[in-house]
Each structure stands twice: as structure tokens, then as C-alpha cells.
Amino acid sequence: MPQTQGTQRKKVLVLTENFPPKSGGSGRWFWELYSRLPKEDYIIVTDTVDDSAIDQQIDNTVIRIPLKSAEWGFKSLTGLGFYWRNAVQVRKLTKAHGITHIHCGRVIHEGVIAWLVSLFTKVQFVCYIHGEDIETAATSREHSLMVKQVCAKADMLICNSLNSQHIARRLNYDVGNTVVLHPGADCERFIPVPCDDDFKTDMAWAEYSVILTVGRLQARKGHDKMIAAMPTILAAHPKTLYCIIGDGDQKPRLLGLVNELQLADNVIFLNEISDKQMIKCYQQCDIFILPNRTIANDIEGFGMVLVEAQACGKVVIAGDSGGTVETMLPEQTGFIIDCTKPDVIASKINQLLSDTALAKSMGARGVEFVNDMFDWKAHAVKAKKLFE
């Protein structure tokens, strides 16, 4: 980063529990963004994992410390101990590496740790806001007070969408320090390709129209409603397959629903899959859907997977909740629909399966849109200027 006379060069510690190899859009966002920024200016501090071999694939220094906690509040001894241990550890790292700023993956709990560190140092911090994180925190008086304190002291709050910024303002967490920085897509890796018959055969996709969802198996992601829509879809298009990539606490319930509806031959789950295979799935599917909905205060802040699918030339469908509308050009590259209703989902998918020319033309428009608006190279330039 440029250094002017009399100013200290910025050195940033990125503090995030979510980071590859853990699945999830926010972790991939941080990987894609910070791997494109000067490695000498950014170090990554993230959670411990069984296999950290992926750390060798990024030029930045990656340090792993335990960042999981069953309690995120101060009222319990577990929560207090977690924050104390990590504040001490992060303080040591800031001193050892000459850190001037901390970038926090979320307001709570990473932002709370950075705030504690800032009380005893001159280290400043910024926090990312994803929408669902602060919505969920608002349901707890203790967590809400913690978030309000952290947001007030943060130099900047980086919202992943306009929707997330609106939430921060509605909850009075924004004190005039919010900016919007959307996640992006690697438009050199996520690209349209011709049909790969060998891949489809290997995946048991041959002769099927494939509907794809990528994301953690969380209730708000809406996999259950898409599964419930499958009988209606199959009645019109019997050779249809729904492929789900991801893992999470909803998996037993989703498997039960598949068995209940006798859909074992038409719904498949993939969780042990490489990034290369995942991109292939994007490229070889026919329609991508993120059937998200709002559950209590849990929303989809943005929907990075929708951007990636469009980059691969796929028409996309998403729920009319959260920030998903910001990922596409509605009615041009995809559709925003009520994904709480399986019949609405089935109707839209059947329309696209019947009109493959429409699906292909919308997919082609999606490639242009993502390359113009969400390419990671352009986003990294914007972020670098923002961080300076």
C-alpha cells in the first residue's frame, strides 16, 4: 500500500473463523479477496482445522488458532474465557507482526475480540456485516448490546449488500460508518464450457436435466422447499435430478424428506467435493437455484453462489428474501420468486425446462453481467482503495 511521509504503513490482521477449507460463501469471499491483495500487508488468522494443507495455496501468512465457541456472550464463564483467551492471543500476534488494523469476518464474535484488543492498544478495526449475523444478534439483548458497542467503535462496517446496510441502519448499528462491498466471482475459473459427457456420466447425470444448489444445509437456504417441489417437477419432466452440494445440521431432516417423498433416485447430496469438481457442477448443470427464505431473523445477506452460477452461464432462481436480488438482473439473468411455496418453485423450473432456449439466453446474459459487475480483479482494486 502507498505510504506517505509521516504515516505508518498499514499492516492488517484478518480475523475470521470462516475460511477454507471450511465451506461457506463468506470464507470463500475472504480467500478470494485477500489472496489478491499485497501479501506483505495482510496476514490471515483463522480457526484450526484437521487438514490445513490448503494454506499452502495462498501467498498470505495463515495462522490458525481455536476460534469456535459454544457461547458468544459475556454472561457465561465459557464465553468470558473464550474472549479473554483470544483477545490475549490476537494481542500477541498484533505485536509480533506490527499490526495496525484488524479486519473482522463478523461483528460477533471476531469483532468483539478486536474491540477488546483495541481497548489496550492503538490497533484499529473494521468489521464485515453479512445481514443474517446482526439480525440473529438482535434477538438477544446481550448480543445486541455487544454488537452495538463494536459497531460504534469500528472504523468501518463493510456490508456485503445494500440489504445488509439497510438492516444495520434499521437496527441502529450504523453510526455513519457503513460501506457496501459485494462479494464477487473469479471470472477466469467460473466460465461457461461445452457439455462434458464424460463428467456427466461419472456423476450419474447423463440423460438428466440437473438442478443445482450449492451452500450450507441451513434452514434458510430452502433445500426442503425445492425437495418438496420435485414431485410436481418430475410429473412434467421425469428425467430431472436435484443435486445438493454442501453439508450442515439440516442434512438428517432433508434426507428424511427425500425418503418420505420417495425421491432417492432424483435427489443427491455431495459434500466431499473439490473446488474443481464444484465448478464443473456449476458448468454442467441446467438450472441453479438458491431457494432461500427468511426464518425468524435469519436471512440470506447476498448469495455469492448465484454470482458464480451466472459466471458459468446458468440461469438462476432465488427467493425473494434478503440481498439475493442484488446478485442478478431479475427477468434477464434469473428470477426472484416466493421460495416458501413448492408449487411456485416447480412452476418456474418447469417453465425453464420446457423452454431451454430461454434458459440458455438468460445464462448468456448472466455471463456478461457478472463479468461487468462482479469480477474479483475489479473488486480487489476497489477493496484496496477502500482499505487505504
Q: pLDDT (tens digit, 9 = 90+) per residue, 258-294? A: 999 999 999 999 987 888 999 999 999 999 999 999 9
C-alpha closest to that of 158 among 140, 137, 173, 141: 173
Please check whether residue 365 is in contact with residue 332, taking contact to mean a CB–CB distance below 8 angstroms: yes
* Model pLDDT for residues 54-83, shown as the tens digit of each residue: 888 888 999 999 999 988 899 889 999 999
For residue 144, the 8-state DSSP code is H
Backbone angles phi, psi at 310, to 5 degrees: -65, -35
Report cis status (omega within 30 of 0) of the bond before 223.
no
- Kindly report, residue by residue over 121-155, the tens digit of the pLDDT: 999 999 999 988 998 899 899 999 999 999 999 99
Beta bridge partners of 16: 46
- State yes or no: pLDDT of 311 exceeds 60: yes
Helix (H) or strand (E) holding 260: helix 251-260
Nearest-10 Cα torsion for 142, 143, 144, 148: 110
Give the H or E element holding residue 264: none
Sign of CA dihedral 25, 302, 203, 345: positive
The pLDDT-based confidence of 188 (bands split at 50, 70, 90) is very high
pLDDT of residue 72: 87
pLDDT band at 5 (very low <50, low <70, confident <90, very high): very low
Q: What angle do CA 180, 186, 190 make, to 5 degrees?
A: 130
What mean pLDDT comes out for the span 17-39? 90
Give the single-character DSSP code of 317: E
Give, to the nearest 10 degrees, the angle between helix 25-34 and helix 304-311.
70
Return the SS3 of 377.
Answer: helix
Instruction: Identify whether 330 is preceded by a cis peptide bond (ω within 30 of 0).
Output: no
Q: What confidence category does residue 100 fall into, taking pLDDT thresholds of 50, 70 and 90?
A: very high
Q: CB 344: neighbour CB atoms within 10 A?
A: 17
Q: Does 2 score more than 60 pLDDT?
A: no
All domains in the chain, ordered by first residue:
12-181 (3.40.50.2000), 197-373 (3.40.50.2000)
- Neighbouring residues of 156: CB distance < 8 A, sequence distance ≥ 6: 126, 127, 177, 178, 179, 386
pLDDT at 4: 42
- Residue 339 clears pLDDT 70, i.e. is over it: yes
Mean pLDDT, the chain, rounded, equals: 94
User: Per the structure block, which three cell numbers stand in for 146?
Assistant: 455487544
